[in-house]
């Protein structure tokens, strides 16, 4: 009876995100069940201890859950087996280990549907939705989240509904429905009194506000999300929020703040042991390094992020790294290589029928323009066709082979590409981004992205400084 009571107390603690207590009482329950040689009880206690441990220390949690799954099969405890598979698959999806998550989640869904186990069905749908979302299958992710949300509402579970709404919002972030989903999800998260759930809801809402241009509100929501995540002891969520704050600092013209938050996020992500969050932080470091003119660091960071994302099957992340490395190749004068990488990434986005976030699109457009300006129309067309014909795997191989010498200087006027030179010239004359865009047939966002690269290369921070410099020099010819 004491073993059962300890197990139940541990389950309540885990649902309140008190993983330390869940581990402590779960271990005590496990020891009692082991003394009784009760396989069924041992399986359930291992599910509790393993899931709580996986949240705070993934390497230690995984073998505990695997042992729990094996004992549940041996005991014929289908409820425990379904729950163990659901928790393992869901958390592995959050952690980014898609190869481990998929078989667990697929088996979980089969068992849950057969037993009409709605609670574990929601967890399985949520986990599989997160998995296919990270692979870039947004349509399937939305369908899985929608089904999970309907079941969670049927159960009347604020926590499950809030988690599913937060996930669904990432798919529909830029729609009018997205705001309503966020508000409902955050309300349910607060109702569930789960700090972990509330932090995810606040982070998602902050991201939507940033996308809509309300940077002040976004900053307030990110700060609250970070405080809640830190209180809950979730390094993974805290790292993700800090990366959002880094991007916000950049948008606000605070490069030092952007770098500080990026570095803090990388430290937390590394401590958490979650590879895909580490990849996000490393990718962010590469973006900032490029803006600051440190291409050695930028290239090293983006290659590291590419490896991490590729190893875990994170296709969206792989595409982002290909774009970043394509941009670096354009900076260095390797225009044909740049076009192939950029085209391969674009083929991926076209294949999943999705668009990039506006800020990412502006940087992508600037990279394509730089590469296009360095090539004849014929060469550009040939390289583009070659790039769109590459699979992601082939594009990753191409990117890995491209770590070579730089032909273009990394700073001063000679480092500017032809497109950047033209933007710098017009900006020095006092033209706005909109006017530059009209003159050069590019979007204002693309002009803004070019200016960010120009400022980094010239070691300046404003248009006023640009106008005070000596006459803009012609870009130097570079090897292709």
Q: What per-residue confidence (pLDDT) applies to 474? A: 47
Mind listing the pLDDT tens digit of every residue in the chain (480 residues)? Answer: 999 999 999 999 988 778 899 999 999 999 999 999 999 999 999 999 998 987 777 778 888 988 999 999 999 999 999 999 998 888 778 766 778 889 999 999 999 999 999 999 999 999 999 888 888 788 888 899 999 999 999 998 888 888 888 788 777 654 445 555 656 655 665 665 667 778 877 888 888 788 778 899 999 999 999 999 888 777 888 999 999 999 999 989 899 999 999 999 999 888 877 777 889 999 999 999 998 888 888 999 999 999 988 887 788 889 999 999 999 999 988 999 999 999 999 998 888 766 777 778 888 999 999 999 999 999 999 999 999 999 989 999 999 886 654 545 656 677 777 778 888 889 888 899 888 888 887 878 888 888 888 888 787 878 888 877 754 454 444 443
Q: What per-residue confidence (pLDDT) applies to 219? A: 94
CA torsion angle 246 252 256 260 (round to 10):
-20
- Domain locations along the chain: 314-480
> What top-level class would CATH report for the domain 314-480?
mainly alpha
Q: What per-residue confidence (pLDDT) applies to 476? A: 46
């Amino acid at each position: 009876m004491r073993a059962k009571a300890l197990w139940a107390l541990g389950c309540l603690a885990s649902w309140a995100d008190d993983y330390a207590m869940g581990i402590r009482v779960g271990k005590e329950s496990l020891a009692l069940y082991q003394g009784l040689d009760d396989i069924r009880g041992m399986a359930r206690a291992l599910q509790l201890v393993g899931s709580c441990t996986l949240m705070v220390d993934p390497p230690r949690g995984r073998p505990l859950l695997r042992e729990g799954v094996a004992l549940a099969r041996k005991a014929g405890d289908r409820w425990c087996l379904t729950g163990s598979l659901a928790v393992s698959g869901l958390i592995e999806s959050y952690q980014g280990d898609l190869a481990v998550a998929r078989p667990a989640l697929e088996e979980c869904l089969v068992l849950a549907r057969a037993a009409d186990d709605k609670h574990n069905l929601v967890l399985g749908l949520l986990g599989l939705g997160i998995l296919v979302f990270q692979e870039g299958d947004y349509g399937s992710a939305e369908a899985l989240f929608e089904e999970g949300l309907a079941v969670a509402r049927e159960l009347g579970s604020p926590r499950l509904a809030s988690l599913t709404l937060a996930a669904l919002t990432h798919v529909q972030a830029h729609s009018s429905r997205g705001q309503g989903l966020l508000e409902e999800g955050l309300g349910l998260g607060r109702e569930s009194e789960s700090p972990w759930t509330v932090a995810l809801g606040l982070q998602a809402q902050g991201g939507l506000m940033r996308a809509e241009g309300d940077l002040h509100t976004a900053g307030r929501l990110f700060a609250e999300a970070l405080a809640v995540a830190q209180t809950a002891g979730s390094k993974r969520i805290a790292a993700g929020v800090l990366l959002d704050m880094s991007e916000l600092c950049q948008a606000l013209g605070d490069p030092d703040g952007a770098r500080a938050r990026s570095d803090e996020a990388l430290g937390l992500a590394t401590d958490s042991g979650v590879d895909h969050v580490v990849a996000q932080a490393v990718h962010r470091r590469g973006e900032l390094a490029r803006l600051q003119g440190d291409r050695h660091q930028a290239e090293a960071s983006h290659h590291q992020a590419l490896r991490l994302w590729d190893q875990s099957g994170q296709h969206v992340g792989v595409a982002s790294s290909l774009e970043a490395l394509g941009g670096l190749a354009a900076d260095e004068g390797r225009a044909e290589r740049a076009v192939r990488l950029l085209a391969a990434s674009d083929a991926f986005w076209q294949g999943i029928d999705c668009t990039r976030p506006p800020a990412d699109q502006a940087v992508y457009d600037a990279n394509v323009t730089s590469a296009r300006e360095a090539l004849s129309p014929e060469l550009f067309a040939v390289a583009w066709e070659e790039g769109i014909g590459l699979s992601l795997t082939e594009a990753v191989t191409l990117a890995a082979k491209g770590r070579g010498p730089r032909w273009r200087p990394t700073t001063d006027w000679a480092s500017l590409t032809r497109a950047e030179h033209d933007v710098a010239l017009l900006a020095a004359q006092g033209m706005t981004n909109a006017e530059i865009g009209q003159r050069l047939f590019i979007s204002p966002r693309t002009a803004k992205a070019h200016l960010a690269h120009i400022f980094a290369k010239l070691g300046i921070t404003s248009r006023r400084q640009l106008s005070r410099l000596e006459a803009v020099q012609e870009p130097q010819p570079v090897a292709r």
